[in-house]
Amino acid sequence: MNCKISILIALFLGSFFISFAQVSLPIIPKPSRLLMQSGSYTFPEKVEVAAFDEFTEVAQLLAEHPFVHFDEIERIKSAKRIPEKGIRLIKPDKLDKLGATAYRIVVNVDGISLIANTNEAMINAVLTLMQLAYLQENGQVLPAFTLEDAPRFQYRGLHLDVSRHFFPISFLKKYIDLMALYKLNVFHWHLTDGPGWRLEIKKYPLLTEKAAWRDQIEWKDWRAGPRRYLNEGDPNASGGFYTQEEAKELVAYAAKRGITIIPEIEMPGHSKEVLAVYPQLSCSGIPYKNSDFCLGNEETFQFLTDVLTEVIAVFPSQYIHIGGDEANKTAWKKCPKCQQRMKDESLKDVDELQSYAVNRIGKFLKSKGKKLLGWDEIIEGGLAPEATVMSWRGEAGGAKAANEGHDVVMAPQSFMYFNSYQGNPLFEPEANGGLLPIQKVYDYDPIAKDIKNDKRKHVLGVQGNVWTEYIPTTEHVEYMAFPRALALSEMAWSQPETKNWTDFENRLQAHYRLLQRLHVNYYRPSLHVNIDIKYDKVKVSNLVTLGAEQYHPVIRYTIDGKNPDISSPIYTEPLELFKSTLVKAALYRDSIRVGPVDSLQTNIHKAIGKKVLYNNPWDTYAAQGDSSLVDGEVGGIDYGDGQWQGFTKDLDVVIDFERREELQSVSLRFIQLKRKGVFIPGSVSVLISDDGKHYKKIQTIDNDVSKERSRLTFKTFDFDLKGKVGRYVRVIAPNTQAGFIFTDEIVIY
């Protein structure tokens, strides 16, 4: 090995590794070790590139570096003949203890040395160089440094659903390029589902001649209609598919960048498109009637193994994802063929019937040298231990699978669904629901607390999922995936003890330049102010915290009802308020207001702490129990935040003041999110009583929000009770849509 390089490595390994907060290389994910040095290297017009034989193919990737231009790659035939200058891709010497998955980069005035034991690690070294080229204002000059790094998890995935909306290969290459820059190494390609089949299967041409084409462009319109498929070439057909050659091309493109593509072929549920064109594979035999394969029909398994045989020929990945989630199972209970299968195989219920099918497919894949990967429902009813589980419903499913000895990839809905809102839903494009800001992604740890210590080895890694029900365009995919994918990258790569949100946020600022240079339509930090209120029942006060997604925001606020201006105070610490107050706030930059005025009413009302009687109990969403509706705490923009109380029956509650009180007003707020089955009640009525038995209705206010409104909506019902006196206040809100109704606080003055 070159003497200079050996000396630098020795200094590096024996030195104190300074933190990223102190250096000028804001790499994401954060390297485990970094030592900045004096000097720099400037990429010449033509650079000499040399590599050990095993790295010559990886070295070709340098041609995509914007400042690396070379004619050919020199083969390094001996460790004693490493060139003094240029870019060198080399293996460590025998005394170097560089790990199998680790890489090292050494930059000095003479050039760049990339050191690794394997192609996989060397690709990561090259990609780090690539990222640096786009991060710096002048990427042609690199400061001198020595860096060493290795991943925490072997599986660092990003998913894309191309069934609900189809995206061209050209975009998928861009998606993979971005994944590679951030060392995400698994692309989970969700190729089939009810809205459209997306991969050519030569033995079953109807899958792409018809099942790939639906009668509506957007998924939500198709779902709201009769859900029909059209023939390719029909003027109203919408969709598309990938030929096997296109898929192979993408597989090779990804592999060059260190990324494995795992295909997902859904079964036994989510198969409406298949059964519309091959209805003999359903329990009814009728097109458009079933969404689940008939598991009592041998032809079903012939079809599935035929399809998987062609899939395996296209995708060399170790894993094949078969879905396995959300099967309806209703048809199986009545189907003679399925019932006979259960009898023949001694299966006690339809859960075991599904497990029979999953295990049978698993054995087939194993015979082909592959491993089965599926969503966490596949563990219901029993599962062969060699199958790998991807947990989507929550951490519990992943923990259960790991504790049973299954390998697990964590992808829980609450932390890893990039189709959730990332900012305030009132100001965002329509999404699936839920709230997943970038910090929540960053803070997640895939090693769930419920996983036993000796089973944690089964957690292979983590994956972010991009389901595209409400994501019809490539620009919208980018908006939902980035920059959250950067937080996923560091969470999946870096050791927990090196993670720090403030440090990450600081480095993230440099990556907006990268995303802009690569023309990524990423989510921009909101210009709204977040106003958070916490009620202190001891002090009888509200603690108000102001925040924003902007980096180091300047927030001006008022508590006198007026809009903030340049003379308003700058927020520096939480405000403690001892009376009901309207708080207003806005972002400022260089003395100019740059965002809207946001406001929130704090309430210290007379019902706080009073006893609440529930004529109908809450259901599933208890919030803070029987004190929730009068605890002084209001809910946020997510009905699952622990402050919204949910009811599947009519809301019917009574607040007991313990003595007759003069009343001024009653108000309460509801939330609507149609796709989650959450609706505003049909009306709200307020009644009062002196004895708790005989009530007088004061007023009923009808709801004017359409049940068809799909965007997140809030509605407050305000009642004037001036001149009224009573001990008991009763609130009734009928659940007219038979879904959930949620309210957060009953405010009474």
CATH number, residue 484: 3.20.20.80
pLDDT of residue 461: 98
Question: Has residue 511 been placed in a domain?
Answer: no
Question: Has residue 678 been placed in a domain?
Answer: yes
Cα gap 351→732, rounded to integer Å: 40
Q: Give me the sign of the Cα torsion angle 256, 258, 259, 260.
A: positive
pLDDT in tens, 507-541: 999 999 999 999 999 999 999 999 999 999 999 99
Least confident of 381-390, 462-471, 511-520, 603-612: 381-390
Residues 626 and 734 in one domain: yes
- pLDDT higher than 50, residue 13: no
Catalytic positions, please?
A: 193, 270, 326
Residues 591 and 736 in one domain: no
Residues 9 and 108 in one domain: yes
Q: Domain range spanning residue 15?
A: 3-149
Q: Exposed, middle or buried, 723 (CB in 10 Å: 0-12/13-18/19+)?
A: exposed
Residues 191 and 128 in one domain: no
Question: Has residue 601 been placed in a domain?
Answer: no
Pairing of strands 111-116, 86-90: parallel
Residues 242 and 332 in one domain: yes
Residues 255 and 353 in one domain: yes
Q: What is the mean pLDDT of residues 203-232?
A: 97
- How long a stretch of residues is the chain? 749
- At position 195, the amino acid (one-letter code) is P
pLDDT in tens, 419-449: 999 999 999 999 988 899 999 999 999 999 9
Q: What ranges in 136-243 are assigned the alpha helix state H?
A: 169-181, 206-209, 219-224
Cα gap 154→277, rounded to integer Å: 39
Residues 124 and 176 in one domain: no
SS3 371: strand
> DSSP of 376-434, one letter per residue?
GGGGTT---TTSEEEE-S-HHHHHHHHHTT--EEE--HHHHBTTSBSS-GGGS---SS-
Q: What angle do CA 257, 263, 267 make, to 5 degrees?
A: 165
Secondary structure of 475-536 in the HEC alphabet?
A: HHHHHHHCCHHHHHHHHHHCCHHHCCHHHHHHHHHHHHHHHHHCCCCCCCCCCCEEEEEEEE
Question: Has residue 489 been placed in a domain?
Answer: yes
pLDDT of residue 741: 97
pLDDT in tens, 266-308: 999 999 999 999 999 999 999 999 999 999 999 999 999 999 9
Per-residue burial over 395-433, b if 16 or more Cβ lie within 10 Å, else e, is: bebbbbbbbeebbbbbbbbebbbbbbbbbbbeebebbbb
- Last residue of one domain, picked from the residues 149, 166, 181: 149
- At position 174, the amino acid (one-letter code) is K
The pLDDT-based confidence of 394 (bands split at 50, 70, 90) is confident
The pLDDT-based confidence of 18 (bands split at 50, 70, 90) is very low
Residues 88 and 53 in one domain: yes
Q: Across all residues in the chain, what is the average pLDDT?
A: 95
The pLDDT-based confidence of 28 (bands split at 50, 70, 90) is very high
Residues 452 and 576 in one domain: no
Per the CB < 8 A criterion, the answer to whether 272 and 173 are in contact is no
pLDDT of residue 384: 77
Question: Has residue 371 been placed in a domain?
Answer: yes
Question: Has residue 134 been placed in a domain?
Answer: yes
Question: Has residue 556 been placed in a domain?
Answer: yes
CATH number, residue 39: 3.30.379.10
SS3 443: helix
- For residue 597, the 8-state DSSP code is P
| pLDDT > 90 fraction of the chain, expressed in percent and rounded | 92
List residues bridging with 530 in a β-sheet.
Answer: 547
Q: What is the mean pLDDT of residues 459-473?
A: 98
Residue in this structure with the two tokens 């207001």, named with its chain if needed? 593
Q: Which residues make Cβ contacts (< 8 Å) with residue 304, sequence separation at least 6?
A: 267, 293, 361
pLDDT of residue 710: 86
The pLDDT-based confidence of 114 (bands split at 50, 70, 90) is very high
Per-residue burial over 522-553, b if 16 or more Cβ lie within 10 Å, else e, is: bbebbbbbbbebebeeeeebbebebebbbeeb
- Last residue of one domain, picked from the residues 562, 595, 628: 595
CB neighbours (10 Å) of residue 378? 30
- Last residue of one domain, picked from the residues 116, 132, 149: 149
Q: Phi/psi of residue 4, each to 5°?
A: -60, -40
Residues 470 and 356 in one domain: yes
Question: Has residue 520 been placed in a domain?
Answer: no
pLDDT in tens, 641-675: 999 999 999 999 999 999 999 999 999 999 999 98
pLDDT in tens, 471-489: 999 999 999 999 999 999 9
The pLDDT-based confidence of 2 (bands split at 50, 70, 90) is very low
Residue 654, both tokens: 């009574």
Q: How many domains does the chain have?
A: 4
Does the model's pTM come out above 0.85? Answer: yes
Residues 619 and 570 in one domain: no
CATH number, residue 683: 2.60.120.260
Q: Exposed, middle or buried, 495 (CB in 10 Å: 0-12/13-18/19+)?
A: exposed
Residues 34 and 129 in one domain: yes
Cα gap 61→41, rounded to integer Å: 20
Q: Phi/psi of residue 453, each to 5°?
A: -55, -40
pLDDT of residue 6: 46
Per the CB < 8 A criterion, the answer to whether 675 and 421 are in contact is no
